[in-house]
A and B are shown apart, each in its own frame.
Chain A
Amino acid sequence: MARITTTRDESGFIREPGRSYGAEVPVLAPGHTYRSVTDKITDVVFNRTPKGWYFGLAVTLAMLMLLVTSVGYLFARGVGIWGINIPVSWGFDIINFVWWIGIGHAGTLISAILLLLHQEWRTSINRLSEAMTLFAVACAGMFPIIHLGRPWLAYYLFPYPNTMGLWPQFRSPLVWDVFAVSTYGTVSLLFWYTGLVPDLATMRDKTQNRFLRMVYGLMALGWRGSARHWNNYQMAYLLLAGLSTPLVVSVHSVVSFDFAVSIIPGWHSTIFPPYFVAGAIFAGFAMVLTIAIPLRAFYKLQDFITMRHIENMAKVTLATGLVVAYGYLSEIFFAFYSGEYYEQYFIANRISGPYWWAFWALILCNVLAPQALWSKRVRTNLPLLFLIMMFVNIGMWLERFVIIVVSLHRQYLQSSWDMYAGTFWDWSTYLGTIGLFLTLMFLFIRTLPAIAIFETRELVHADETQPEDMPA
């Protein structure tokens, strides 16, 4: 890749002439060579497994078992084991679905949109966030299936030719969901895998183990690093990035239609698509940070995931958090402006009804807590940043709780007003999916390069802190 020194600084940022910039932390710590980058990243996989990893995996596997038990019991008994009822017939199931889908947003955004915008600071976090996306989508994708009364008939939602001569009902947002989520899952997987191919070849070449060499070799699809390979690769990667970009916007917009298309006060709202997308990016970045902060400390990857990354992600979180806060405000304004009794009631109920605590906790987590990110001191204070990101993770879950449960529990006819609370099985299923997510994350970190090796090497190249030798 050609480097135009006059318009970019050492860390890849475009600099406008005649404007002064503060000393930026670089995206890659200085002093790295191609080899050191490769070694450092592959060591995470090839070194002896740290004890902490075993411990962590044990915990997450236990949580995964909880998921298996919960879902098994669910299939045996029926969705009645959860707390859902009439009027609140969506509860933890759909809250968790939307929450996970939201978390799955950062990956594509970082990989695709930032790639197209030539934001090179994305390099060392894109692999991680793409993996996160995939795993989150896997967790999310479970819920629409297991929340069905008769999950063994989930295939009715797909348009397949059948003797009944029936198609799904294309007016239903749930059908749109099926397409949106499955497309998103597929493209995310392709994108992630395509990005992995050159690194898998590196892994193949570095490993001493015959068996692993075979496995990585198969997965590397015969990558030899030829110029032609690189050329095709770059084309494919760019195209996929282009494909993914609209998906970032579409998936969560479609998810928001599940609510916006309905006639329930609190759901029936035109602000939902943009507000959901912003919320998803907000949640996604918070989750990337939640994982990246402990990860870089544990594996000593501070050189690759630098304070630049951390700070930039915190800034994106702050920005999207403000969009989300705007969404909350606009909901209140529209309820007031509509002059419609039920619209106004739902806002009053949200703020001061029996679930007032959920709303105010949400405001604390999603609106107030992120305001601390205006300060550079906070953005660079890792424990504090981690804490704020936990707030956001919880806040985004609460947001879906408020939207789904609090809107449903009191709608039109007072006679049908009721309360909702998750049961043991609701919580165990939720914890179980976190277990699934973390288990996949642990396995991923131990078996595949968590940071894109070749792209980081490009940064070394760009730094011109110059090469010794090209890797095999």
Chain B
Amino acid sequence: MSSIELHKPDNLAEPATRDKNYTDPALTRRLKGKTGKEYWRSLEELADTKEFRRMVRKQFPSQAAEFLDSVSRRRFLKLMGASLALAGISGCSTKPTETIVPYVERPEGLIPGRPLFYATAMIMGGATNGLLVEQHEGRPTKIEGNPSHPNSLGATDVFAQASVLSMYDPDRSDVIRKNGAISTYDQFIEEFRGTIEGQRPGGGSTVRILTETVVSPTLSRQLNDIFKRFPNAQVHHYESAGGDSAREGNQIAFGQPVNTFYKLTEADVILSLDEDFLYGFPHNVRYIHDWASRRRPEPGVELNRTYVVESTHTATGAKADHRMPMRARDIEAFARVLADRLGVDVGSVPQLEVDERYLNALVSDLRASAGRSVVIPGRHQPAAVHALAHAMNETLRNVGTTVYHTESVEHVPANPGQPAAERPTTQVESLRALTEDMRQGKVKVLLIVGGNPVYSAPADIEFGKWLAASNNRNERLVPLSVHLSEYRDETSELAVWHIPQTHYLEAWSDARTFDGTVSIVQPLIEPLYSATRTPHDLLSLFSDLPDAGGAGGASYDLVRETVRSLRPNVNFEELWRQSLLSGVVDGSELPIRPLRVRPGLAGRLPALTRDSGGLEVVFRPDPSLYDGRWANNGWLQELPKPISKLTWDNAVMLAPATAHELGVKVQDVVTLTLGGRAITAPVFELAGQPAGTATLHLGYGRNVAGGRFRVGNNIGFNVNTLRTSTTMNFGTGASIQKTGDTYELATTQRHHLIEDLDQGHVRHATVEEYRRNPQIIKEESHHVEGSLYPEYDYENPNFGNRHAYRWGMAIDMSTCTGCNACVIACQAENNVPVVGKEQVGMSREMHWLRIDSYFRGDEANPETYFQPMMCVHCEKAPCEVVCPVEATVHNIEGLNDMIYNRCVGTKYCSNNCPYKVRRFNWFQLNDKETPQLKMMRNPDVTVRERGVMEKCTYCVQRISRARINAEREDRRVGGNEIKTACHAACPAGAIIFGDLNDPQSTVSRLHHENRSYPVLGQINTQPRTQHLAEITNPNLAIGPSESSEEHTNG
């Protein structure tokens, strides 16, 4: 029944009496005995009654929560089967619903209320991280790192942490569509089969497949299998967020695709040439871990020295001992000068005005640590920098100690129909070739597996235009285009078919990580929407493999096949079981290849293109949204970017001096013109940004027609329209025009500058100073003794704390890289709501844990400090005494507890908190309606309601779980047994939780370190969380902090 028919009395009366399900007795009663005109009138009247609306809702399920139909609670219970999958039995194939009788036999290991953990892995931008996912009664709720995985080592990054929200995102695509209209998979298969069969005569030369970077061995195999039936088909890859320079650089240096990784644990001196290896880099989780292991000034640890030359202020630059801001276009010249000094033949050495003191110190440092140093080239630097870095690492004898090469972990398309010489090295060229073929009508079938090229393609490659284009007979140039993606996005709108994609937590797959180790992507839950398909399903359509009828089935067999082929000589079922348990396939890493840079490098280096003057524009993936794929993830949208603390927007990042020169200031809207293209965006002044450089972040300005995104639509500014295939990394000759408008930007921190006078809460020293006087950090403390209130007697048996636990935390500012993983981990663990840009602008963000960034010194190149801050659980907590209703109290284990149902919301506790870590529910912030979001929440943590205060609890639910376990075994909880969400997520090991009363615990050892201090100790709050001062390792030849102040660029 359509809505138009509602006005016809006859039509309404019929279903109302005929169909019992749709009948509301009250409504029928009211309709009875009404005829003719009166009847007509009463319908009009009725049209707005509650009963009527209820009836309409019943008849039109689109208004009802669709989700309730597709996945009921019972089907979740069915998902307990996932634990059987662990034992090697397929748990994710669709089973007939009728036969399910939950819990007649309890699945192995399941105790209601106790979470289970399963290993899986997540792929993003060609990087893989191994994960353990916490599952409550069939619902994945929290992502943890997998300690067995070489990249994770138990830690995670922001994206993995936030991915669980994306799975439950109510805006995910849930139906198959053809030209926008709802269709079925059967119809799709019929059309697709028919069409590709028709392409076989030409060897499938009209068949094209476009994917993102592929690191799944199974997908790689499937892509190669296509050529068996379609030898002339072509496979293309495209990702907008970089990697091309490395591919090209490898080609220059080695003449072949290579995978390079670094072992930072072995590196004494690290030089990054514009690479943010501690934040946005693929596999940064492992790099943070390794880097941090050399930044703890403890006995037996020699601090590494980190030099960073960079074109935008990044987290890595913030952690550098010597950071030099430099325009992106000058960095290649710098690399050439440096390589020349190190003895690499680079041909002609360019002229570059550079701080000689810095360069000399760097050269002698690298030389002195030859074999124990590393040069990391920036993904957003030209290919020459990569080739030069390979050469420098070789000259410094680093290959084999800190630098390793293996065969490429990513799928390298080897289209047999194309001569090897014609195959493009870079993804951009690959995309350009594809688009050109589309324009010429050479493409009849285009399968786009994941990615969103319509949005992310460079502006001069008009992929979207030719995808949607028609010829003069009004036929589409690409008659059959298929887009598989999790959201119905810009590309889905233009493709003929849109197939919803499963989330990685819902489907089987596999993935290689940086050293080639294969992990199995294991589903945690049956797909929320039955229409979703995996990439493996779609590629199966090409091959002779069993057709992908149900989601997952085929993928499962394919992945098993891959694992079997990886280790042919071992017992497969045992291997499979082990691999599922540990999350990695043992012995699957790629062998190290002893590669040497081919001689004659100087001749192969592309000519150095120098300054074309004007303002420079640097394009970078966004620290939170990456290339835009996370645009609909509220947690990531609201995540403060590491240095600027900007949320919900991107902006034109300018150095304050440059902004001043251009006559613009923060929040001014400007028109930025580059190569004849222009965008309008607001300005943000970022200290430490090199002069004359504007950084733009990708991933914003998503604009899906119809506003299908509730979170990410029209947030920020799309910079892809400015970025061309020649300016993928940076472009010069840009200009800025002030429009006169202003635009509100929401940051979570508005003051970064600290002065020496008040730096008491951010303490730091050089390693020299610290070695000379180990008490240097403690000496700054104003020692305060005594309190009006009596001490808590935790050891007293009558106190109730039988085991005398004293929970505490240590936060190491030396190793914290501001990677934000803890922030999202805390948000996911503790059901912390997202508040939106406007509320962030009003300073009402809800993050229990924040990472403050502080600048000291010259704003052109400041020293930057990260200070994670959350409730420090004061022994003498100022919040406790002022609460009139005892809603925040000290518990017997010394935690500062919040009692939500006692809180009336006076907010006095927050006023009196010197650390400002308390968060208030100004409105009803938690979405209590959307069913998907209800499933996502951690059932162990209260979902807070309007009007109550909240804050970090030290993950009290985890403490309770550990305590209960220990009491059942009649033992004490181990000093290191409990990990809070932030502790578990931290790749640097900078956040350590534990029992201060256990002298063996890491946290008590850290509290006794000389660089441990209570923040704001002078007000005698006696915090349980102590911070460890930042110890830097500057080169005395440059000086501790004045390193590059005299040096000015541009």
Contact = CB atoms under 8 A, between A and B. Distances in A.
B1023 to A, nearest CB: 12
A261 interface: yes
Contact of B843 (A87, A341, A342, A411): A87
A89 B1019 contact: no
The residue in A258, A263, A341 that gathers the most chain B C-beta atoms within 10 A of its C-beta is A263
B885 A78 contact: no
A262 B905 contact: no
Interface in A157-199: 157, 166, 168-169, 171-175, 178
B883 A79 contact: no
B904 A90 contact: no
B745 to A, nearest CB: 14
A411 B844 contact: no
Contacts of B461: none
B911 A262 contact: yes
B882 A261 contact: yes
B476 interface: no
B202 to A, nearest CB: 63
Contact of A416 (B839, B916, B946): B916
B103 interface: no
B916 A156 contact: no
Interface string A136-150: 000000000001111
A342 B1019 CA distance: 11
B911 A90 contact: yes
B804 to A, nearest CB: 26
Interface in A75-89: 77-80, 83-87, 89
A171 B922 contact: no
B963 to A, nearest CB: 24
Contacts of B918: 86
Contacts of B905: 79, 148-150
Interface string A224-268: 000000000000000000000000000000000010011110000
B949 A149 contact: yes
Interface in B918-941: 918-924
A345 interface: yes
A156 B885 contact: yes
A267 to B, nearest CB: 8
B750 A418 contact: yes
Interface string B897-918: 0000011111110111011101
B904 A157 contact: yes
A171 B877 CA distance: 13
B947 A85 contact: no
A172 B881 contact: yes
Contact of A148 (B749, B906, B916): B906
Given A85-B843, A413-B761, A149 B915 contact: no
A182 B1028 CA distance: 49
B757 A341 contact: yes
B869 A263 contact: no
Contacts of A345: 758
A150 B910 contact: no
Given A86-B843, A150-B946, A414 B751 contact: yes
A157 B885 contact: yes
Contacts of B886: 166, 168-169
A264 B922 contact: no
A415 B852 contact: yes
B916 A413 contact: yes
A262 B903 contact: no
A385 B921 CA distance: 46
A441 to B, nearest CB: 30
A44 interface: no
A272 to B, nearest CB: 15
A263 to B, nearest CB: 5
Contacts of B854: 414-415
Nearest to A341: B758
Interface residues of B, number: 54
Contact of B921 (A78, A87, A166, A417): A78
Nearest to B946: A78
Interface in B735-787: 749-754, 757-758, 760-761
B947 A78 contact: yes
Nearest to A157: B884
Interface residues of A, number: 47
B904 to A, nearest CB: 5
A171 B1015 CA distance: 25
B912 A149 contact: no
A150 B882 contact: no
A415 B751 contact: yes
A172 B1016 contact: no
A342 B761 CA distance: 12
A148 to B, nearest CB: 5
B922 A83 contact: no
A334 interface: no
B900 to A, nearest CB: 10
A415 B869 contact: yes
Contact of B752 (A86, A150, A172, A414): A414
Interface string B868-901: 0100000000100111111000000000000000
Contacts of B844: 80, 85-86
A153 interface: yes
A251 to B, nearest CB: 17
Nearest to A262: B912
Contacts of A84: 907, 922
Contacts of A411: 914, 916
A262 B907 CA distance: 13
Contact of B915 (A156, A175, A412): A412
Q: Which of A80, A151, A153, A175: most chain B Cβ within 10 A?
A: A80
A171 B912 CA distance: 14
Contacts of B904: 148-151, 153-154, 156-157
A408 interface: yes
B323 interface: no
A382 to B, nearest CB: 42
A38 B761 CA distance: 70
B916 A263 contact: no
Contacts of A80: 839, 844, 922-923
Residue from A86, A154, A263 having most chain B Cβ neighbours under 10 A: A86
Given A77-B923, A168-B884, A174-B884, A156 B907 contact: no
A264 B911 contact: yes
A349 B949 CA distance: 28
B923 A173 contact: no
B78 interface: no
A262 B882 contact: yes
B850 interface: yes
B301 interface: no
A100 B169 CA distance: 49
Given A149-B946, A156-B902, A175-B884, A263 B923 contact: no
Contact of A172 (B908, B924, B1019): B908
A83 B842 CA distance: 8
Interface string A419-434: 1000000000000000
B948 interface: yes
Given A87-B843, A148-B906, A150-B905, A174 B916 contact: no
A157 B905 CA distance: 11
19 contacts: A85-B842, A85-B843, A86-B919, A87-B910, A89-B920, A148-B905, A149-B920, A149-B947, A150-B946, A166-B885, A168-B885, A172-B884, A174-B884, A175-B884, A178-B884, A262-B908, A415-B751, A415-B916, A416-B915
Interface of B: 749-754, 757-758, 760-761, 839, 842-844, 850, 852-854, 867, 869, 878, 881-886, 902-908, 910-912, 914-916, 918-924, 946-949, 1015-1016, 1019
Q: Which 5 A-B pairs have the closest CB atoms?
A: A149-B905, A149-B947, A80-B922, A415-B852, A416-B916
Given A78-B923, A147-B907, A414-B758, 14 more contacts: A78-B921, A84-B922, A86-B843, A86-B920, A87-B911, A90-B907, A156-B885, A172-B883, A172-B884, A178-B884, A263-B1019, A413-B914, A413-B915, A418-B750
